[in-house]
Amino acid sequence: MISRFTSTNLLRGAVRYYGSTSTSYTLPDLPYDYKALEPVIAGEIMEIHHKKHHQAYVTNLNASLEKYAAAESAKDVAAMIGLQSAIKFNGGGHVNHSIFWTNLAPKNAQGGVSPSGPLADAINQQFGSLEKFIEKFNAQTVAIQGSGWGWLGYDKANSKLVISSCANQDPLSTIGLTPLLGIDVWEHAYYLQYKNARADYLKNIWQIVNWSNVAERYSKAKRLKHIHDKIAFNLVNLLYSIHWMDNRIE
Ligand SMILES: [Fe+2]
């Protein structure tokens, strides 16, 4: 009985904690100057991309969440449903760009330096080599119709790296993958410099990929999977013990 009481309260506390929402998101600073990624990405592109596009996602996300909170208070389910696509689009835009900025680094700050350690091992094992991985990633990403993102993700169910893509601003998590490296192929990310040559943009961007950031995300994703598996294992044991105790009491 004590176990049940404690676990119920723990669950309620967790729901309260994770269920709480903040309606105020802010534009993160870039970890480098706008011109620092030149000549691969022009400073003008970076400034507009960050100050205008990413800022617009943040502003519209906050506005949508405020409207959602009002609709929820009024128990207006139709209005709540109507806001979901704006929240997905602008929330995805905020999440994706926040990852993208940190996935890149200037050449004089380790940008383009090949990965090492477990991430490099996994890339070599799954794709043959970094070069083959890039070739496959670029082929898949250049073919995205319209606007979207190319991704290297982590599939925690199979403990594998996955090359994937998402349309518009859909976050990679919507297809069950943990984002490690995202490349923005909306035209606003390259058009001022590369015009319609998306393939050239994709060919050059590897010179400024921050592989240590990608490796850090990979390590964290694997750690979280380990913790998740451990919790699931302990939870099953706990439930089994409660069931066993209940049977003895009865
Ligand atoms: Fe973008």
Nearest one of 116, 190, 126 to 153, comparing CA atoms: 126
Distance 102 CA to ligand 1 centre (A): 13
> What are the angstrom distances between the C-alpha of 200 and each of 46, 142, 206, 248?
17, 10, 11, 69
Are residue 187 and residue 219 in the same domain, yes or no?
yes
pLDDT at 16 over 60: no
Percentage above 90 pLDDT, the chain: 80
Q: Which of 78, 103, 128 is the last residue of a domain?
A: 103
Residue 7 has pLDDT above 90, yes or no: no
Cα-to-centroid distance, 168 and ligand 1 (Å) = 10
Q: Ligand 1: distance of its center to the CA of 147 in Å?
A: 9
- 184 is an annotated ligand-binding site residue: yes
Domain containing 130: what range? 117-229
Q: How far is the CA of 235 from the centre of ligand 1 (A)?
A: 41
**Domains contained in the chain, number:** 2
User: Does residue 130 fall inside a structural domain?
Assistant: yes
Is 226 within any annotated ligand binding site? no
Is residue 35 domain-resident?
no
How do residues 216-235 score in pLDDT, each as one tens digit?
999 999 988 777 777 777 87
Q: Are residues 93 and 195 in the same domain?
A: no
Q: Establish whether 53 is an annotated binding residue.
A: no
**pLDDT tens digit sequence for 42-61:** 999 999 999 999 999 999 99
Q: How far apart are CA 148 and CA 234, in angstroms?
A: 40
Q: Looking at 115-124, 196-205, 221-230, which range is the least confident one?
A: 221-230
Q: 54 CA to middle of ligand 1, Å?
A: 7
Sign for the CA dihedral angle at 246, 247, 248, 249 comes to positive
| Per-residue confidence band for 239, with pLDDT thresholds at 50, 70 and 90 | confident
Question: Does 95 share its domain with 192?
Answer: no
How far apart CA 164 and CA 145 sit, in angstroms, is 14
Q: Is residue 60 in some structural domain?
A: yes
